[in-house]
Amino acid sequence: MENPITFGWPTMFLWLEFWYTVMVVDFLVAAIKLKAWDCHQDGTEIVPEAREQR
């Protein structure tokens, strides 16, 4: 007999999918809200520096 609450899906699969989705959404929200990831926050132009030749 299939579990009517999970529509026949294994409970562990649904649990893992739920937390995977929660973590991805949490990461995206943090990435959008985190000001340290905004490279244009101070208004200065980004200038690449020369690398040391070896």
Query: Tokens 């244009």 — which residue?
Result: 40
* DSSP state letter for 35: G
What's the pLDDT at 49? 86
Is-contact 40 46, C-beta < 8 A? Answer: no
For the segment 9-51, what is each residue's pLDDT rounded down to a tens digit?
788 888 888 999 999 999 998 888 886 666 666 677 778 888 8
Tell me the H-state helices in 1-54.
11-33
pTM score:
0.52
CB-hemisphere CA count at 13 Å for 53?
0
Q: Which amino acid is at 41?
A: Q
